[in-house]
Structure 1
Amino acid sequence: MRHVSPLLIGLFSLLLLWPAAPIRAQEPAFAMRPVGPNLFLDKPWALLYGPDDYLWVTERAQGKVVRVHPETAQRDELIQIADHASTASQDGLLGMALHPDFQEDSPFVYLSYTHLVQGERVQKIVRYSYSLTGDDGSLFGPETILDGLPASNDHNSGRLLFGPDQKLYYTIGDQGGNQNANYCNPILSQVLPSQAEVNQQDWTHYPGKILRLNPDGSIPADNPAFGGVQSHIFSIGHRNPQGLVFGPNGRLYSDEHGPNTDDEVNLIEGGKNYGWPRVVGFQDDQAYDYCDWSSAPDCENLSYSNGSCPPNATFLPESSFSDSTYMEPLFSMFAVPDTYDYNNPLCQNSWICRPNVAPASIAYYGSDSLPGWKNSLLIASLKRGRIYRLQLDSSGTAVVGDTLHHFYTPNRYRDIAIAPDGKTFYILTGETGRTSDLSGFNIVNANSLQNPGNILEFSLQEASTSVAAPVPHPPFRLGPNPAHDRLSLHLQQPAPVRLMDQAGRVVRDYSTLGAGTHALPVHGLPAGFYILSIQSPRRVWYEPLSIY
């Protein structure tokens, strides 16, 4: 494990929040505290900020729903589901949604969980009624609204969300097909149900889809038709979409795990195809081709290896895919070329060198409380232990500016909830698994997670939102950030320029560059976070740089 200078870590953490501008407003500062002791939550999965000002949590493996007091961490167990089953790391009790009229005449809670039918996993969505006596809440009166949904030991997704149209949205992953223990199972993300299947309530071909339901589980009359068949399906071509959120004007956003690269942030529209497994990220024929292991006649006798393809299996480049309804992602985290080196010696191993972030959830920030944050998407990362913030344009249809990140800790971030005042953020942490250190080059193993099975509160320090005194205008312009192959640097005067990693090691020495615009190569460096040092006559400028 490489040792990182605490001074540089602190410096870099601050620098990552500074935009390059002539006048820099002081960035907001946050105080972090764990809401409760470590492991006071057992394998938590979903987190909601409830209308009662409690934090509502699902515990995946135990099948429990709890309310947590955000100040005292007192647990109020609402239910332990009797017919719930969990025998793997991605099944069990997953998504949770409260009815939009929860505090009025519809105190209903919707849950998605795994149960067993003749020993096989099946997912269902159940509506419960909620009651509160004093401080003691309970869920009762289960009513199954949709049963027989596919379930697996992998890539169930399972996010539940009510939309402004009063419909219920639900994500189903590809069930982990074509990889690991499921490598001989075909991916069904492009396979559509027939009318006969829908009539028989056979949901076999729902994996890799986002569903849209009436609150009673029926098919909305205005759902799109795929292949001439109308069903619960709202969009297709998904891998593992664990995050789902509505922004203004009814726009629906999702984040989705990529295989090794290209975690996606998508703008979800009804009737669209998002490409998986034929396309990952942008359709650029880079760093991905579709190898269908299940098409190999002797698949069961083969040994699976990530990144390889049996010679007799179907093998297709991204450019071979064509569909008039195909929609590219809003953003990719992060795209790399075929030449990307997963075994770069700066990385601890090839897994940490993969430029993905494992996005587990997504939130929309629409408050005026934090200057510059309004109209942003917040992405919770399991693999990187931070929240990525993507600024949207005014229409909500494009990401603008740099990819910023906040709230790093050595934890796996499972979900995020925002308090109504927009000044406090709650982050749900996983209890096991790997994440990365601050640099992104090294692994933090499960036994070194800082706050497993917990909720972290990040609260705004009010004095930090004031405007700071002007600082000198930097004598350079830098972009793009994040960068991939090369970086454009415009200098107003000659200056020595060096690129450092977070341990302070110089990884690129560009020597003294003259005034003007320069193309600085950064290819061959592993994805991660760096510092560009630019020495002017009166000071040294340190600029944060993300490379993907």
Structure 2
Amino acid sequence: MIRHAAVCLFALGLVATPHGAQAQTGLSITPVAEGFDAPWAIGFLPDDSILVTERGGRLWRLADGMRHEITGIGDVAVTGQGGLLDVLVPRDFAQTRALYFTHAKPQGAGAGTGVARATLSEDGRSLTDWQVIWEMEPGSSGSRHFGSRIVEAPDGHLFVTIGERGDRPSAQDLSRQNGSVIRIARDGTPPADNPFQGQGGTQPGIWSYGHRNPQGAALDSQGRLWVVEHGARGGDEVNLIEKGANYGWPVISYGTHYSGAKIGEGTSKPGMKQPAFYWDPSIAPSGMTIYTGALFPDWQGDILVGSLKFDHIARLSGDPLREVQEISTPETVRVRDIRQGPDGAIWFLSVGQGTLYRMTPD
């Protein structure tokens, strides 16, 4: 039974759960809070409390051994893969108390990926001034491929991943925002130095395009943006994002359609970027962090990605990038989000367990 009560919390720093995670991987995995219904994202506040979003429209704050529901979430379309999705705690939160969210924004008979800003009350119990600062242009239907990760760039602008909403050709159409990474200012406007700003017939917010359904995004220590995205049948990709670049979907791919039919023109084409890494078969990747902490010194610069399909966390390293470890334990069931915490621990959300976990070296 899914429980939405504050009692479903564990104190931080307890010993690992007795599932053999230490013996299998040399890691200690501790449950922090359980009973979530389709959890989607984690955010860390400066006072050491933690935010967790649920796709169904709930936002929770974990603090002082209790779990509190935060009120004030705006209108969210809970449909298929859509709902309340990512949360960003920006670097200036202590001064502004502003939070940013991605969500499926109702748009008449359909829905599109949107970005909202709201202010968290001083007691951490409610949001005020929920405002949609950006939304993709109406016109998409269906309930899949919202993308929806949000990352604060080094200059304070926001990167947001947008899925192609199941409309494959739209990812190559610069007059539409489907299948793109957008870059916007804090008020939702496109910065003047975006690559397609001022070009007739293009969407000025687009930073890169040719993406399918990017559900993980993170900055590395150099401030570069990396994205992980779902392929079809095979062809999940990790991409290093470059300004104005075309990542090929659906013209090139290392996967096939679910029917087994060939996708596009093959695996490469001039003018289209190659992935830094790809999986075949697909692992259904969601959530990404690039490790910079001190608890795992051998993991410096490594990419960690959750798998919704094979119930593990993939660790990638090296140049060229390769998968060096699959962290697979009873806790890593359908990993939706994974983050590095302020203390250098790895935190992840298991959809299958409805639980937030904290991972440290054994």
Q: TM-score range by the shorter chain?
A: 0.7 to 0.9
Q: TM-score, normalised by structure 1?
A: 0.58
Q: What is the correspondence of 1:114-263 to structure 2 with a 5 Å cutoff?
A: 114-133=104-123, 136-149=124-137, 152-177=142-167, 186-193=168-175, 205-225=176-196, 229=202, 231-263=204-236
Task: Kindly tell me the number of residue pairs found equivalent between the two proteins.
Answer: 339
Q: What is the correspondence of 1:13-92 to structure 2 with a 5 Å cutoff?
A: 14=24, 29-37=26-34, 40-61=35-56, 63-69=57-63, 72=65, 74-88=66-80, 90-92=81-83
Aligned equivalent of 2:304, options 369, 374, 378: 378
Shift of 1:78: 1.7
Contact 1:108–1:129 (CA under 8 A) maintained in structure 2: yes
Q: Distance in 2 between matches of 1:109 and 1:221?
A: 24
Larger Rg: 1
Q: Distance in 2 between matches of 1:31 and 1:125?
A: 35
Deviations along 1:1-28, one digit per CA (max 9) or x if unpaired, are xxxxxxxx979974xx6xxxxxxxxxxx
Q: Distance in 1 between matches of 2:67 and 2:166?
A: 33
Contact 1:124–1:149 (CA under 8 A) maintained in structure 2: no
Q: Distance in 2 between matches of 1:80 and 1:103?
A: 20
Q: Distance in 2 between matches of 1:78 and 1:11?
A: 33
Contact 2:55–2:83 (CA under 8 A) maintained in structure 1: yes
In structure 2, give the amino acid aligned to 1:131: S
In structure 1, give the amino acid aligned to 2:243: G
Deviations along 1:342-364, one digit per CA (max 9) or x if unpaired, are xxxxxxxxxxxxx2111101101
Contact 1:359–1:382 (CA under 8 A) maintained in structure 2: yes
SS of residue in 2 equivalent to 1:389: strand
Shift of 1:123: 3.4
Over the aligned positions, Cα root-mean-square deviation in angstroms equals 2.6
CA, structure 1 residues 77+456, in 2 after alignment: closer, same or farther (shift >3 Å)?
same
CA, structure 1 residues 460+167, in 2 after alignment: closer, same or farther (shift >3 Å)?
same
In structure 2, give the amino acid aligned to 1:34: P
Q: Distance in 2 between matches of 1:11 and 1:427?
A: 14
Contact 2:72–2:128 (CA under 8 A) maintained in structure 1: no
Q: Which runs of 5+ in 1 are unaligned?
A: 1-8, 18-28, 178-185, 194-204, 282-286, 292-304, 310-314, 335-354, 432-450, 462-548
SS of residue in 2 equivalent to 1:215: coil
Contact 1:172–1:240 (CA under 8 A) maintained in structure 2: yes
SS of residue in 2 equivalent to 1:124: strand
Aligned equivalent of 2:343, options 421, 426, 431: 421
Q: TM-score, normalised by structure 2?
A: 0.85
In structure 1, give the amino acid aligned to 2:247: Y
Deviations along 1:451-494, one digit per CA (max 9) or x if unpaired, are 2x111222333xxxxxxxxxxxxxxxxxxxxxxxxxxxxxxxxx
Q: Distance in 1 between matches of 2:215 and 2:76?
A: 20
In structure 2, give the amino acid aligned to 1:49: F
Q: Distance in 1 between matches of 2:223 and 2:33?
A: 35
CA, structure 1 residues 230+155, in 2 after alignment: closer, same or farther (shift >3 Å)?
closer
% identical equivalent positions: 33
CA, structure 1 residues 187+10, in 2 after alignment: closer, same or farther (shift >3 Å)?
same
Confirm or deny that 1:327 pairs with 2:273: yes
Q: Distance in 1 between matches of 2:97 and 2:279?
A: 38
Q: What is the correspondence of 1:326-365 to structure 2 with a 5 Å cutoff?
A: 326-334=272-280, 355-365=281-291
Aligned equivalent of 2:360, options 422, 436, 459: 459
Shift of 1:148: 4.6
2:13 corresponds to which residue? none
2:8 corresponds to which residue? none
Shift of 1:425: 2.0
Deviations along 1:261-289, one digit per CA (max 9) or x if unpaired, are 121111001110101111114xxxxx54x
Q: Distance in 2 between matches of 1:459 and 1:94?
A: 26
Shift of 1:67: 1.2
